[in-house]
């Protein structure tokens, strides 16, 4: 009798287990956290589910995104997901439907046992819905290989989601260290996964010019290469060098390829041609563009150079306009970034051409600024006028606020938040990328010596997550805060896996600041979701920092402090 009782209880237990398995809530850990999310009990079976949509209602890139999602599911489940485009499969499976009452970046997802209904009004909304769906699937989805050990289920959810900020950016410096087309595409993939939509591509610097300009071929023949690179930390004259020629650049065909790749992921690329400072690679190529006419060498050290473009000479403006004409042909972005940061005025003060320009323009110094500071305003205004005449708008680093700045310029606040606060109060649009929260070249672990050598600073993921972009901005000026961006300067980041490490998982915190409604962030929830994200990064083979769990360092990249 005893034996019989046990077997009955085993049967009851297994029935209960099956029942509770079917009815359990599948945890939802999406970054950035959707703004309205309700999870219900129960699931939806993904393997073999039909995908349906009406092609003539959708952009080509939307269809591409849906089809890629369907093929990835087919690959990992090992079962083919049929795609129906004739309207015959609207009641079952994945249904993608246009809902024109939603905003461009907005989407809804409603999943019950039979159907996953995805609605959006435009490509962006559909694309973000797919990113959220991917993050609700088992992490093995990201491994891109067949896996029959996993339950290929989605949770039953209701999601209605849209971003807080329209501008959700990240910047990569490819000049201090060069990253190939494939490496840049990987950055774009990771940005897209986090629903970022602006890639600021820092293409020119003292240490390397990275974009082919047909009118000025020496920019890449000469300017794209330096003779040596720093070993270890920058110590001025005491720095050590490797003695190896270093460089590279993108052809215009490669640039077009990257722009198209970004477009298919909802990302606009904003190119930066940093001027009139940070121009030594251009000066090395065309010494006549400088105040002293050189000779100049592409810089091998870091830091700020006194050698800058000479705005006293008309040929300098011919050069700038020639470069920007080709840049505008390659990049459809409304915004073109023209730098403006860290431009020493020592050479302008001594240069007869610059002084003549100052005299001709009637520029006077005052208690706030030197004549040469106002000369930089002249450069900015002239470049802005040129861009505006071609239907584009200027972005510059917050130095462009010093002195006069013409209406219509957008300011990128980097020296903390104060430039952004001032610009918004003065009525300029602003992108907040303060080095007090958003410089991903800074250390992220407190015990610096155990971290890969970095430029300095300390910005742990908690601090990035804590950033509130409206802090210090009066209510009436909130409309000028277009969004938030993180910057990755690469003086100390020479390898792809080190690059990954510097922005994973800080990009998770960044995307939360950019996307999540004010007052909805929750670090404990975020931290849990980051651990799920780590599993996705593992599946994708990406390097990332585990310092959030007290684990330091990156194999193959030496640690240290500056
Ligand atoms: C900057 O970090 N120089 C914009
Ligand atoms: Zn000059």
Better-predicted residue by pLDDT, 23 or 456: 456
Instruction: Return the pLDDT at 20.
Output: 39
Q: Which ligand is located closest to the Cα atom of residue 356?
A: 2
Q: Which ligand is located closest to the Cα atom of residue 337?
A: 1
Residue 122 to residue 157: CA distance in whole angstroms: 21
Ligand 2: centre distance to CA 352 (Å): 7
Q: In what order do the strands lie in the sheet with 93-98?
A: 36-45, 153-161, 107-111, 115-120, 93-98, 51-52, 83-84
Indicate if the pLDDT at residue 180 is higher than 60: yes
Instruction: Return the pLDDT at 14.
Output: 41
Read off the pLDDT of each residue in 404-413 and give the average, rounded to a whole number.
97
Ligand 2: centre distance to CA 223 (Å): 20
Q: Indicate if ligand 1 lies below 6 Å from the C-beta of 342.
A: yes
Atom of ligand 1 nearest to the CA of 278: 3
Computed over every residue of the chain, the mean pLDDT equals 95
Atom of ligand 1 nearest to the CA of 439: 2
Instruction: Return the pLDDT at 22.
Output: 54
Q: Please count the other Cβ atoms lying within 10 Å of the Cβ belonging to residue 458.
A: 13
Write down the pTM of the prediction.
0.95
What is the pLDDT confidence band of residue 13, given thresholds at 50, 70 and 90?
Answer: very low
pLDDT digits (tens, 9 = 90+) for 368-401: 999 999 999 999 999 999 999 999 999 999 999 9
Task: Say if residues 76 and 141 touch (Cβ distance below 8 Å).
Answer: yes
Residue 31 to residue 512: CA distance in whole angstroms: 7
Read off the pLDDT of each residue in 304-312 and give the average, rounded to a whole number.
98
Residue by residue, DSSP assigns 11-77 as HHHHHHHHHHHHHPPPP---SSPPSEEEEEEEEEE-TT--EE--GGGS-HHHHHHHHHHHHHHHHHH
Ligand 2: centre distance to CA 463 (Å): 42
Ligand 1: centre distance to CA 341 (Å): 6
Ligand 1: centre distance to CA 439 (Å): 9
Q: Indicate if ligand 1 lies below 6 Å from the C-beta of 397.
A: yes
pLDDT digits (tens, 9 = 90+) for 190-243: 999 999 999 999 999 999 999 999 999 999 999 999 999 999 999 999 999 999
Indicate if the pLDDT at residue 283 is higher than 90: yes
pLDDT digits (tens, 9 = 90+) for 473-491: 999 999 999 999 999 999 9
Pocket residue to mutate for ligand 1, from 397, 413, 420, 441, most atoms within 8 A of Cβ: 397
Q: Which ligand is located closest to the Cα atom of residue 354?
A: 2
Atom of ligand 1 nearest to the CA of 435: 2
pLDDT digits (tens, 9 = 90+) for 496-547: 999 999 999 999 999 999 999 999 999 999 999 999 999 999 999 999 999 9
pLDDT digits (tens, 9 = 90+) for 347-360: 999 999 999 999 99
What is the pLDDT confidence band of residue 63, given thresholds at 50, 70 and 90?
Answer: very high
Please tell me the residue having the least CA distance from ligand 1 atom 2: 414
Read off the pLDDT of each residue in 54-67 and give the average, rounded to a whole number.
97
Ligand 1: centre distance to CA 166 (Å): 23
Q: Indicate if ligand 1 lies below 6 Å from the C-beta of 321.
A: no
Ligand 2: centre distance to CA 317 (Å): 12
Q: Indicate if ligand 1 lies below 6 Å from the C-beta of 341.
A: yes
Give percent of the chain above pLDDT 70.
96
Pocket residue to mutate for ligand 1, from 172, 305, 341, most atoms within 8 A of Cβ: 341
């Amino acid at each position: 009798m005893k034996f019989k009782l046990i077997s009955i209880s085993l049967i009851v237990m297994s029935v209960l287990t099956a029942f509770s398995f079917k009815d359990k809530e599948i945890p939802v850990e999406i970054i950035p956290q959707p703004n309205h999310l309700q999870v219900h009990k129960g699931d939806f079976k993904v393997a073999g589910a039909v995908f349906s949509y009406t092609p003539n209602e959708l952009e080509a890139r939307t269809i591409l995104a849906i089809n890629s999602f369907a093929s990835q599911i087919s690959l990992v489940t090992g079962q083919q997901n049929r795609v129906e485009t004739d309207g015959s499969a609207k009641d079952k499976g994945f249904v993608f439907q246009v809902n024109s009452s939603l905003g461009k970046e907005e989407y809804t997802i409603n999943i019950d046992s039979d159907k996953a209904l995805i609605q959006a009004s435009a490509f962006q909304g559909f694309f973000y819905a797919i990113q959220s769906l991917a993050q609700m699937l088992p992490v093995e989805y990201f491994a891109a290989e067949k896996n029959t050990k996993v339950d290929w289920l989605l949770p039953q959810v209701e999601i209605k989601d849209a971003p807080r900020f329209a501008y959700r950016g990240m910047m990569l410096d490819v000049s201090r260290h060069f990253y190939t087309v494939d490496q840049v595409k990987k950055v774009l993939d990771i940005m897209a996964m986090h629903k970022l939509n602006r890639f600021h591509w820092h293409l020119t610097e003292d240490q390397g010019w990275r974009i082919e300009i047909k009118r000025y071929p020496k920019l890449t023949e000469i300017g794209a290469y330096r003779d040596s690179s720093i070993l270890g930390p920058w110590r001025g004259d005491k720095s050590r060098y490797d003695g190896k020629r270093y460089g590279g650049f993108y052809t215009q065909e490669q640039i077009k390829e990257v722009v198209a790749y970004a477009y298919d992921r909802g990302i606009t690329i904003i190119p930066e041609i940093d001027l009139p400072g940070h121009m030594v690679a251009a000066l090395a190529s065309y010494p006549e563009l400088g105040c002293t006419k050189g000779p100049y060498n592409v810089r091998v050290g870091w830091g700020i150079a006194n050698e800058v473009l000479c705005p006293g000479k008309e040929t300098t403006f011919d050069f700038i306009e020639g470069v920007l004409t080709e840049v505008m042909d390659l990049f459809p972005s409304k915004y073109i970034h023209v730098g403006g940061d860290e431009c020493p005025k020592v050479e302008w003060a001594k240069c007869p051409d610059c002084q003549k320009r100052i005299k001709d323009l009637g520029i006077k110094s005052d208690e706030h600024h030197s004549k040469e500071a106002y000369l930089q305003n002249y450069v900015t205004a002239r470049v802005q006028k040129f861009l505006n005449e071609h239907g584009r708008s200027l972005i510059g680093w917050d130095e462009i606020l010093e002195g006069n700045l013409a209406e219509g310029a957008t300011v990128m606040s980097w020296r903390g938040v104060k430039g952004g606060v001032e610009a918004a109060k003065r009525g300029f649009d602003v992108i907040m990328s303060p080095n007090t929260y958003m410089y991903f070249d800074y250390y992220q672990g407190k015990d610096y010596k155990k971290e890969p050598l970095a430029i300095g600073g300390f910005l742990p993921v908690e601090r990035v997550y804590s950033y509130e972009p409206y802090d210090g901005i009066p209510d009436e000026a909130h409309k000028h805060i277009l969004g938030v961006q993180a910057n990755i300067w690469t003086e100390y980041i020479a390898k792809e896996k080190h690059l990954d490490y510097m922005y994973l998982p800080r990009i998770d915190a960044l995307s939360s600041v950019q996307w999540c409604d004010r007052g909805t962030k929750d670090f404990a929830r975020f931290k849990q979701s980051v651990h799920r994200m780590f599993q996705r990064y593992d599946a994708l083979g990406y390097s990332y920092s585990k310092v959030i769990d007290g684990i330091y360092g990156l194999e193959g990249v030496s640690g240290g402090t500056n």
